[in-house]
Structure 1
Amino acid sequence: MHPLLRIAATAWLTLVLLAGCAHRAALPQEELSAPLGDYLIGAGDVVNINVWRNPEVSVSVPVRPDGKITTPLVEDLQAAGKTSTQLARDIEKALEKYIQQPMATVIVTSFVGPYNQQIRVIGQAAKPQALAYRQGMSLMDVLIAVGGITDFAAGNKAQIIRTVQGSRQSLPVRLQDLLRDGDISANVAVQPGDVLVIPESWF
């Protein structure tokens, strides 16, 4: 091959490889920039509160059914409906009366979420319960979390009760087809606030 042609071919190949690397490098950034909603604390969550250089007021506490928490020096502070950062700032403000320039961090260690963000499963589930909604959650995710359905469940007569613009809707779902027959078309998306009702089979 002529030396000039060899140089041109090498330069072209280098540009192609660099372009490919740049494209691959861009993908994770695009994924990272996908919008994610901030998690809101709900009643039943457990929050770990750490106040820098003040271990005596650093505690792990549950969020009460009324949505409030009580910690050393801080009583009845609203936690439900706030992000962990918002709650940390509120704790700092409450502690300013007792500690000079308090610095608090809040980590949610047990998740339930606000009532309107939960998925509730009732009826013939192995472990009926309320679950914290996660982005992209599907019916299969819900069933895994509750341990599947019982032997007495009428899986294909189950329904999702969903409130849309103040109107309650009933959506039929096919749990038996999904779990026992592997029919992936029955794996529908769930939404915050959904109630999955699994009736008993009457033989």
Structure 2
Amino acid sequence: MNRVGPQILGLLSLCSIVLSGCETAPLAPNVEPPTEYTYIIGPGDTIEMFVWGNPEVSRSIPVRPDGKISAPLVEELPASGKTPFQLARDIERELSKFIRNPLVSVIVSGFVGPYSEQVRVVGQATKPQAIPYKENMSLLDLMIVVGGVTEYAAGNRSTIVRTVNGVQQQFRVRVDDLLEDGDISANVNVLPGDILIVPEAYF
């Protein structure tokens, strides 16, 4: 007899909880977006490191899956979880061992972000995916990125799973009203780390 692994059982349990809560979950409040949001670097990002007066050291650097970067004169430096400003100061400290008073600028050119900041869209979206959070991102922005929902979607039973004060909560969103009826009142703000689940319609 085939055994069902604990990961599969956990996923099935989560799906059943989410689906059972679709009808009873409260509507998502239109919360205020984070004030003065600053992008946080994550694995998979690409950064441009500019060292003024030292073009031989300046270059484009990928952030490795372990969240670290390696560059000339800079080895195994943690980058994930930092702002570009913070990373620039850390690079300056490393380079100061070899270069007098280095001045570094860091620009992110390929955006992925840390997993905790990404917004995920799963289920009956046209292109389910994880999306880097952007300032003032809304439900409509998510729908544009994922190309809307499939013909099998029950858009008005969609839910957002969100962590509030350390507790995971579920809120209902009206995707069909937003996309099909143009009801702008259904367009709510999303927050870093939100998960949008678009279920399949019952036939």
Matching residue of 1:72: 72
Q: Once the 2 structures are TM-superposed, how far is the Cα of residue 132 of structure 1 from its aligned partner?
A: 2.0
Residue type at the aligned position of 2:52:
W
- Residue pairs, 1:100-139, within 5 angstroms: 100-139=100-139
- Residue pairs, 1:39-188, within 5 angstroms: 39-188=39-188
For residues 68-115 of structure 1, the C-alpha deviation after alignment (integer angstroms, 9 at most, x for no partner) is: 111122121111121111111111111122223222110011223232
Secondary structure of 1:56's counterpart equals coil
Separation in structure 2 between the aligned mates of residue 169 and residue 100 of structure 1, nearest angstrom: 51
Q: Once the 2 structures are TM-superposed, how far is the Cα of residue 39 of structure 1 from its aligned partner?
A: 2.2
Q: Once the 2 structures are TM-superposed, how far is the Cα of residue 62 of structure 1 from its aligned partner?
A: 2.0
Matching residue of 1:38: 38
Separation in structure 1 between the aligned mates of residue 174 and residue 68 of structure 2, nearest angstrom: 39
Matching residue of 2:6: none
Separation in structure 2 between the aligned mates of residue 59 and residue 202 of structure 1, nearest angstrom: 53
Query: In 2 relative to 1, CA 127–61 (structure 1 residues): closer, same or farther, beyond 3 Å?
Result: farther
Unpaired segments ≥5 residues, structure 2: 1-34
Separation in structure 2 between the aligned mates of residue 127 and residue 54 of structure 1, nearest angstrom: 43
Separation in structure 1 between the aligned mates of residue 116 and residue 85 of structure 2, nearest angstrom: 20
Q: Once the 2 structures are TM-superposed, how far is the Cα of residue 179 of structure 1 from its aligned partner?
A: 0.7
Matching residue of 1:192: 192
Question: RCO greater where, 1 or 2, for CA within 8 Å and sep 6 or more?
Answer: 2
Aligned residues: 169
For residues 159-184 of structure 1, the C-alpha deviation after alignment (integer angstroms, 9 at most, x for no partner) is: 10011122111111111111111111
Secondary structure of 2:48's counterpart equals strand
Q: Kindly indicate which of the two structures has a greater share of residues assigned to helix.
A: 1
Matching residue of 1:25: none
Secondary structure of 2:50's counterpart equals strand
Residue type at the aligned position of 2:170:
S
For residues 128-182 of structure 1, the C-alpha deviation after alignment (integer angstroms, 9 at most, x for no partner) is: 2222222322111111122211222221221100111221111111111111111
Secondary structure of 2:56's counterpart equals helix
Using structure 2 for the length normalisation, give the TM-score: 0.76
For residues 34-60 of structure 1, the C-alpha deviation after alignment (integer angstroms, 9 at most, x for no partner) is: x52332222222111111222222111
Residue type at the aligned position of 1:72:
P
Residue type at the aligned position of 2:145:
A
